[in-house]
Structures are given as C-alpha cells and as structure tokens.
Amino acid sequence: MAEERVTVTIAESVADVRLARADKLNALDPAMFDAIIATIEQLGEAKGVRAVVLSGEGRGFCAGLDLASMAGIGSDVDLAARTHGDANRFQQVAWGWRMLPVPVIAAVHGIAFGGGLQVASGADIRIAAPGSRFSVMELKWGIVPDMAGFALWRGLVRDDVLRELVYTAREFNAEEALRHGFVTRLAADPRAAAMELARAIAGRNPEAIRGAKRLANTMAEGTASSILPAESAEQQAVMRTPNQMEAVRANVEKRAPVFTD
C-alpha cells in the first residue's frame, strides 16, 4: 500500500488536515501534490465542514519541494496548462486552500520553506510557533516562486520586503514573519490555537461565514465597483434565512446556536 501523505479527521464541523510525511519534513513529492489536491477536492464537496485546520506532522510544517523526487519532472511538464481553474497542478496545492468555500487556518511549526511557505500562505489565517523558520527559498535553487505565492502575498507583504526575501532566499524567523505579514499571530502550540479558532468559526452561521470568505477573496482582487455590489448580494442572500434568525435567537436567549448546513 502506498504511504499516506495527508490525513483528514472531521469532528465538530472542523476538518483536521495533517501533512503526513514526517520523516521528510513533509516535503512535497509527486505523491504529496496528488494527496493535497485530492484533499482539497474532498473538502470542497464535504457536507458539514465549516472550517479547516492545516498542519504538518513531525518536526516541521513543510520543507518545500523534495528535489530528489522531483528531479524526473522536467521540460515535458507544461506549466502553462491551467488544470484547476486559474491554477496549474503545482499552484493548486496552495491556491486551492484559498478557493475552498470555508476558512482555512494553517498551524506552522519548525520550518516552512519554499513551496511549504506557499502552501501555508494559501490559508486564510496562519498561526506560527515562536522559533519557526521561514524562507522564500526558490532562488537558492535558481528558480522562482511559482506555487501561487505572488498571488497570495499580494496585499499581505510589503512589496519591497517581499522582493528582498525573494531575491536573497534568506531565512527569517517567526517574529519577522509576523511583522511582514506572512503570519497572522504566534502561539506556543499553533495547532491547538488553530483548532480553538476553527471551533469558534464553526459556531457561527455557516452561510454567513462562506459569504464572508467570498467577500474577502473579492476584496483582494476587486475594486469598489465590484466589492460594493458583492457585499449587498451576500447580505441579501443571508438575511432572514433560518440560520440567520437562529443566530439572533441564540444571542437573545444567551445560548449556543444550532445551525444547519
């Protein structure tokens, strides 16, 4: 049986997704690419999932590309082919998390290098352990970041800072990652913090959460002429629905809401 690359456990409307190649620091080989893409597709169709936590087993989140296993992938690969909407296969392992209809929280520890940093960047929110190490590492190997990083970092990381980190491929620590916008916040146990946050999100109106993520994605790419009507459309779609009315009743009655998916 092939080694499992990604594990998924769903409980209390939260999908706990773990990169499961700990002996290789969860480095990305062809099987890992396939497993992450399959997981994203599975979660995109799953009923009852309201939030996702993405983390890595072992000593680090993800070391980036497994160069030895990827050596056989050469000029015969058409990177221009759009295999998943706007993304190619390699971009989908990062961009796919952003396109999921529910919020994704990445819990980062140890290292997030190269493609691993781009995978984490696909999450809506990133919580990192102090002492974690980061790098936009591609230039070290004479290549450029091409796993959706530039699309995901736009608006997160200041332009000149991003250029310096890309051009030099230098490592930086969790505190610097937080200052620059690669990380949302730090926590001693990022996975526990991510699970706590995911459960809080899962306790909100799932229709409103999905609408809010669509608006956040629109905001990142749109203009006022597209964002303002989108706000109105999302609000119109959610107002006076059973879940929205349940949110009101639960607040008035000071109890936990019971939503339907």
Give me the CATH number covering residue 98. 3.90.226.10
240 and 189, same structural domain?
no
Same domain flag for 222 and 186: no
Q: What is the pLDDT of residue 72?
A: 62
Residue 1 lies in a domain: no
Whether 15 and 43 share a structural domain: yes
* Predicted local confidence at residue 128, as pLDDT: 98
One domain, residues 53 and 70: yes
Picking from 162, 179, 201, the residue at the C-terminal end of a domain is 201
Identity of the amino acid at 252? V
The predicted model scores a pTM of: 0.94
261 domain-assigned: no
**Would you state the pLDDT for residue 220?**
87
Give the per-residue pLDDT at 71.
67
Residue 1 pLDDT: 32
**Are residues 129 and 217 part of one domain?**
no
**Pair (162, 216) in one structural domain:** no
- The whole-number pLDDT of residue 73 equals 65
**The predicted structure's pLDDT at residue 194:** 98
CA gap 185, 207 in Å, rounded: 26
Amino acid 70: pLDDT: 74
Domain span holding position 223: 204-253
196, 113: one domain: yes
For residue 241, give the CATH number of its domain: 1.10.12
* Res 188: pLDDT: 98
DSSP string, the chain: -PPP-EEEEEETTEEEEEE--GGGTT-B-HHHHHHHHHHHHHHHH-TT--EEEEEESTT-SB--B-HHHHTT--TTS-TT--SBTTB-HHHHHHHHHHHSSS-EEEEE-SEEETHHHHHHHTSSEEEE-TT-EEE--GGGGT----SSHHHHHTTTS-HHHHHHHHHH--EEEHHHHHHHTS-SEE-SSHHHHHHHHHHHHHTS-HHHHHHHHHHHHHHHH--HHHHHHHHHHHHHHHTTSHHHHHHHHHHHHTS------
Q: Which pLDDT belongs to residue 199?
A: 98
Give pLDDT tens digits for 211-225: 999 999 999 889 999
pLDDT lower than 70: segments of the chain = 1-2, 71-76
pLDDT confidence of residue 77: 80
Q: Tell me what pLDDT residue 74 has.
A: 59
